[in-house]
Amino acid sequence: MFLKEYFKTVYQTISSLLTGMRLTGYYFTHTKEIITQQYPETKPALAERFRGEVIMPHNETNEHRCTGCTACELACPNGTIKIVTKNEINAEGKKKKAIDTFVYRLELCTMCNLCVQACPSDAIIMSNAFEHSVYDRRLLTKVLNKPGSKIMEGVE
């Protein structure tokens, strides 16, 4: 009785190990399903919606859509965005509020997309760039509006 049990256990052990080894052997000999991405050599194909960082798109004539309403600043849970506004005198001689600097602190950003959702004039979007490592922390504080840029015609 004891011997019978003993050999039964030995048989079960070996068969269960062989079942696992058979699977491992299958993938060892069928190498066509390679799922590893060789990351630094080949860049990954990221989805269109992938949230990497906040950017402010400018058109060819260096114009953006930001009115400086600070809706994004209020929507941000981490204080990532700081907008400094200035008064500009437009062609008709009237004073108009415009952005001076749009400060974006990447090191505080959690890519939650709340600022992009809050923006009424679609001035900021999320880009796919994800390789953000730098040697100096100060480089992560970015100004999103390009130097000399203006607000686009017709955006209120």
Closest CB 135 distance from another protein, rounded Å: 26
Give the nearer residue to another protein in terms of CB position, either 4 or 22.
22
Q: How far is the CB of 98 from another protein (least distance, A)?
A: 23
The reply on whether position 112 binds another protein by CB under 8 A is yes
- 65 contacts another protein (rule: CB under 8 A): no
Q: How far is CA 127 from CA 55, 124, 135, in A?
A: 6, 9, 22
Residue 106 within binding range of another protein, rule CB under 8 A: no
Among residues 6, 8, 16, 25, which is the contact residue for another protein, using CB under 8 A? 16
* Residue 142 near another protein by CB under 8 A: no
φ, ψ for residue 126 (rounded to 5)? -95, 135
Site for another protein in 85-104 (CB under 8 A): none
